[in-house]
Structure 1
């Protein structure tokens, strides 16, 4: 089994997304379909085989499937087919004083690479611009999550 670039992988069909989740679970976590079905709470692992083979899984089972696999390719596919962009919201880190400077820096870098890309009329490599934009959006999502937490603070145990 060859290694995929899982971080940037974008499935093209629902069947492809279901298969990619299974492949990711096998490659990264050594989980078979039987183990995935067990983790999902399914009594019959053959149902999971059938859903993956025909590309049809009940929507209510998707979160459990993605959680068991440790990836979100089905969610990515659903978002992409609706013309949406998903950005991970980093969590677990307290904001640091330099975070706003880093946010400003990443914005400037993304804008610079974007300007250079458009100036080359699309002839330049898009990968650096896309990576800079993704990094910037993740930083914005981090601050979005932190600011939203002030509206609904979590209880400490």
Structure 2
């Protein structure tokens, strides 16, 4: 089974965002649904199963869910459905070669997805996900350059993926 590139994952529905979050929690943190529910402070895990199967979770539970799972896919979905970009807060830190290579790879993937879409070999959902990841990467670097003159401390890492 091919590993999903979580940094570029862009869910097309809230249900998919919930399911993928649980997949991430299991893959990266070895957390079952029961353990995720327990760490969220839920009395029983059946509530979480129900929310995921129905694609409906109380909004006040989303931050706890994303924190336990270690990925913000529900927030990404909410932002994208509102026509917004979701980016980590730039800290104004100097970028390494790996940061630039990662941006280049994301932009290359977005360009490839566009070419495939216009050739009729890729679907709109995958293409939109790749474009979203490219826009978010560029927006982060834009903010990082703006913040460079007044860098912030890197507290509580945002790079869970």
Task: State TM-score, norm by structure 2.
Answer: 0.61
Runs of 4+ aligned structure 1 residues displaced above 6 Å come to 130-133
Equivalenced residue count is 142
**Aligned: 1:95 with 2:115:** no
Match of 1:11? 11
Cα offset for 1:66? 0.6
> RCO higher in 1 or 2 (8 Å CA, sep ≥ 6)?
2
Can you give the 5+ residue segments of structure 2 that lack an aligned partner in the other structure?
A: 120-128, 154-161
Can you give the 5+ residue segments of structure 1 that lack an aligned partner in the other structure?
A: 124-129
150 and 61 in structure 1: CA distance in 2 versus 1, 3 angstrom threshold = farther
Match of 1:52? 52
**Offset from partner CA, 1:75-119 (integer Å, 9 cap, x none):** 11111111112233455x7437x9xxx7xxx7xxx7xx97xx89x
8 Å contact kept, 1:13–1:77: yes
> RMSD across aligned C-alpha pairs, in angstroms?
4.4
3-state DSSP of counterpart to 2:31: coil
Instruction: Kindly report which structure 2 residues correspond to 1:84-123, keeping only aligned pairs within 5 A, or say none.
Output: 84-89=84-89, 91=91, 94-95=93-94
- More displaced, 36-45 or 55-64? 36-45
90 and 30 in structure 1: CA distance in 2 versus 1, 3 angstrom threshold = farther
Cα offset for 1:3? 3.9
Match of 1:28? 28
3-state DSSP of counterpart to 1:12: coil
Task: State TM-score, norm by structure 1.
Answer: 0.63
CA distance in 2 between counterparts of 1:32 and 1:134 reads 27
8 Å contact kept, 2:87–2:139: no
